[in-house]
Amino acid sequence: MSLDPAVAARLKRTSDGLVPAVVQQHDTGEVLMLAWMDDEALHRTLTTGRATYWSRSRGEYWVKGDTSGNVQWVKSVALDCDGDTILLRVDQVGAACHTGDRTCFDAGVLTVAGAR
């Protein structure tokens, strides 16, 4: 089996065939991480309910939590209006970041001039 052709036709991929996936905690809206998916990773995610990504550094698929135990149970998947970004809403078990932190976006808030 492969990704539904109607879904595949909507995706706008990078030159490497990838689409960024923003991962969000389904009940709080907390942004957890950004990862990359190709058609196969998206297909696996949709058919298993486990977040599956393409690791650019390792050159292989990885199912979030298989080695760390920090599983992402997928609650919903959406494409943005242009088809160039995927939004996964998940139930995150444990840390989302490889550093052991809950989210990858806690390395320091940047100052914005004039922010209110």
The conformation of residue 73, written as its DSSP 8-state character, comes to: E
Q: Taking residues 45-60, report their average pLDDT.
A: 96
Q: Where are the chain's structural domains? A: 5-92
Closest by CA position to 90, among listed 36, 24, 30, 19: 24
pLDDT of residue 13: 97
Q: DSSP letter string over 23-49? A: EEETTT--EEEEEEE-HHHHHHHHHHS
pLDDT of residue 114: 85
Q: Taking residues 18-32, report their average pLDDT.
A: 97
**pLDDT of 107 over the 90 cut:** no
**pLDDT of 116 over the 80 cut:** no
Out of 3.10.20.30, 3.10.20.810, 3.30.1340.30, 1.20.1200.10, select the CATH number for domain 5-92.
3.10.20.810
- As a whole number of Å, the CA-based R_g of the chain is 15
**pLDDT of 106 over the 80 cut:** yes
How would residue 115 be classed by pLDDT, with cut points 50, 70 and 90?
confident
pTM: 0.91
The conformation of residue 50, written as its DSSP 8-state character, comes to: B
Question: Longest Cα pair distance anywhere in the chain, in angstroms?
Answer: 52
Per-residue pLDDT tens over the stretch 64-102: 999 999 999 999 999 999 999 999 999 999 999 988 999
Q: Taking residues 99-116, report their average pLDDT.
A: 86
State the distance between the two ends of the chain, measured CA to CA, in whole angstroms.
Answer: 50
